[in-house]
Structure 1
Amino acid sequence: MEMDVISAFIVGLAGAGHCIAMCGGITSMLTRSVTSTGSITPPIRLIVAYNMGRLGSYTIAGIIAGLTGSLAAQSIGLPIALLQVIAAIFLILLGLYVGQWFFLLHRVEALGKHIWQRIQPFSKRFLPVTTSYQALGLGVIWGWLPCGLVYSTLTWSMASGSWLKGGLIMLAFGLGTLPALLTLSVGFTWITDTLRQNWLKKISGMFLLIYGFYLLHIALKNLF
Structure 2
Amino acid sequence: MIETSFLVLFLAGLLGGGHCIGMCGGIVTALSLNLPEQRRGFILLSYNIGRMASYVLIGTLLGGLAQAGLSLLQVRPLQIGLYLLANVMIIGMGLYLAGLSPAITRIETIGKPVWRRLQPLLAPLLPIRHPGQALLAGALWGWLPCGLVYSASLTALASGSAARGALVMLAFALGTLPNLLAMGLFANTLKRWLQKRPVRLIAGLAVVGMGVYQLLSHLLPQYTPF
Counterparts of 1:46-195 in structure 2 under 5 Å?
46-79=43-76, 80-187=79-186, 189-195=188-194
CA contact (8 A) 2:59 2:169 kept: yes
- The alignment of Structure 1 onto Structure 2 pairs a total of residues equal to 218
- Please tell me whether the aligned partners of residues 123 and 138 of structure 1 are also in contact (alpha carbons under 8 angstroms): yes
Unaligned runs of 5+ in 2: 222-226
- Distance in 1, matches of 2:34 and 2:63, equals 36
Deviations 1:83-129 (A, max 9, x none): 21111111111111211222222220011111111111111111000
1:166-216 Cα distance to aligned partner (Å, 9 max, x none): 111111111111111111111253233211212211111111112212212
Q: Evaluate the alpha carbon distance shift between residue 199 and residue 89 of structure 1 in structure 2; reply closer, same or farther with a 3 A threshold.
A: same
- Mark the CA change 1:10 to 1:73 in structure 2 (over 3 Å): closer, same or farther: same
Q: What letter matches 2:47 in structure 1?
A: Y
Aligned match of 1:8:
9
Range that drifts further, 14-23 or 206-215? 206-215
**One-letter amino acid of the structure 1 residue matched with residue 84 of structure 2:** V
- Percent identical across equivalent pairs? 36
Q: Per-residue deviation at 1:33?
A: 4.3
- What residue number does 2:202 align with? 203
Q: What is the rounded CA distance, in whole Å, between the counterparts of 1:145 and 1:112 in structure 2?
A: 7
Which position in structure 1 is the counterpart of 2:224? Answer: none
Change (3 A) 1:33 1:120: farther
- The structural deviation recorded for 1:135 is 0.4
The TM-score, its normalising length taken from structure 2, stands at 0.90
| Structure 1 gaps, min length 5 | none
Give distance in 1, aligned partners of 2:50 and 2:34: 17
CA shift at 1:46, angstroms?
A: 0.7
Q: Structure 1 residue runs of 4+, over 4 Å off?
A: none
41-50 vs 175-184, greater mean Cα deviation: 41-50
TM-score (norm 1): 0.91
CA contact 1:53–1:140 (8 Å) conserved in 2:
yes
Report the residue type matching 1:218 in the other structure: S
- For the 8 Å contact 2:91–2:212, the answer to whether it is kept is yes
DSSP-derived class of the 1:83 partner: helix
**Maintained 8 Å contact 1:33/1:130:** no
Return the offset for 1:21.
Answer: 0.5
Q: CA deviation at 1:157?
A: 0.8
Cα contact 2:93–2:147 (8 A) shared by 1: yes
Aligned-CA RMSD value? 1.7
Q: Secondary structure at the match of 1:182?
A: helix
2:25 corresponds to = 24
